[in-house]
Structure 1
Amino acid sequence: MTPAIPLVLLGLVDAAFSGFRAYAGSDARIRRQRATVRAALRGLAVGSVLLLASALTAALLLLTARDRARTYDTLTAGGLGYLLPLTIYAIAVLVSLAAYFTLPFRAGTLAMVIGLGPLTLLRPLVIVAACLGAALGGGGPALLIGATAGAAVLCVEPAVHRRWYRPTR
């Protein structure tokens, strides 16, 4: 099994959430569904471009490898190591979101505050854990791609915020 597809999907979903987070709190309107969707799409667009760096890195490693089959196996093992912490994190986020959408208003808000707040702060540590998993699973080449992808997803929110939501002075 190649972990590339789930990793790309997780990266793109994370990019959309990063676009939303860049926008959240910058608009006091109550009904802002259109602006929220636009912010998520902006995050998705920026994340797609930034994640191309890790895809190009992987392609370059595979094209320049002496033994492509062995390099592919190494990258696959590293990708699985990278995927494990991200999957656990994604499940925790999904549980928090499910609680927010299914519980009554006050309980759902509490679930959001005690769930998604700390999880957002833990994102960089989860990326570090994923890079460690890539290094343990696949070694240096997998760590290079994982670190490139991790840097890309961590740069989406600041890039979107700086481009579209910086307060005017």
Structure 2
Amino acid sequence: MTPAVLLALLGLIDASFSGFRAYAGRDARIRKQRAVVRAALRGLSVGAVALLAPALTAALVLLTASDRVRTFDALTAGGLGYLIPLALYAAVVMASLAVYFALPFRAGTLAMVLGLGPLTLLRPLAVAAACVGALVNGGGALSLLVGTVAGAAVLSVEPVVHRRWYSNVQ
């Protein structure tokens, strides 16, 4: 499996979480599973559209390259460098979610506040680390370009979902 496929899957998962975060705290009902699923699907749909931008950027880079094989290899190396910091970040997020679901309600909630709260704030830093990883892993400036477009796309999902569906919710 290429780094691009793994990065796309990771981006789509992140987009669905972004949809949930855009909705979270806006509804005082106890049973809100449908609304949570709807919010996650909204994030997923916005994320799927947003992730077309880095895919098209990479395709444009490849189509305009004089040496496509070398450019493809550089983009692959950059993609792997981009994936490593994000995979580490995702592993920590998943561990925090596992603790939340494994512990009793109060302890799980505390784990959520102590783990996922700060991790959400660190998302832009994780994306910046991924961009640096793409550059230093041999991807060069073109991988940095694609990675920056991908990072901007992923980080824009939550604000777009919030503005489109939840900005008027009291």
TM bracket (short chain):
over 0.9
Classify the secondary structure of the residue corresponding to 1:139.
Answer: helix
Residue type of the alignment partner of 1:35: A
Unpaired segments of 5 or more residues in structure 1? Answer: none
User: Does residue 67 of structure 1 match 2:67?
Assistant: yes
| Distance in 2 of aligned mates of 1:168 and 1:52 | 29
Q: Flag the 1:33–1:168 CA change in 2: closer, same or farther, 3 A.
A: closer
Task: Name the residue aligned to 2:123.
Answer: 123
Classify the secondary structure of the residue corresponding to 2:158.
Answer: helix
Task: Name the residue aligned to 1:3.
Answer: 3
| Distance in 1 of aligned mates of 2:169 and 2:115 | 32
Residue type of the alignment partner of 2:46: V
Tell me if structure 1 keeps the 8 A contact 2:26–2:169: no
Which digits, 9 at most, give the CA deviation of each residue in 1:21-62, with x for residues without a partner?
000011111100000000000000001101100000001111
Q: Flag the 1:18–1:168 CA change in 2: closer, same or farther, 3 A.
A: closer
Residue type of the alignment partner of 1:80: L
Task: Name the residue aligned to 2:44.
Answer: 44
Task: Name the residue aligned to 2:28.
Answer: 28
| Distance in 2 of aligned mates of 1:42 and 1:3 | 25
Task: Name the residue aligned to 1:18.
Answer: 18
Task: Name the residue aligned to 1:154.
Answer: 155
Residue type of the alignment partner of 2:35: A
Compute the RMSD of aligned alpha carbons. 1.0
Unpaired segments of 5 or more residues in structure 2? Answer: none
Q: Offset at 1:167? A: 2.5
**Residue correspondence of structure 1 range 40-119 to structure 2 within 5 A:** 40-119=40-119
| Distance in 2 of aligned mates of 1:106 and 1:49 | 37
- More moved, 99-108 vs 8-17: 99-108
Which consecutive segments of 4 or more residues in structure 1 shift more than 6 A?
none
Q: Offset at 1:2? A: 2.1
Task: Name the residue aligned to 2:168.
Answer: 167
* Identical counterparts, % of pairs: 73
Q: Offset at 1:168? A: 5.3
The aligned length equals 169
Classify the secondary structure of the residue corresponding to 1:27.
Answer: coil
Residue type of the alignment partner of 1:51: L
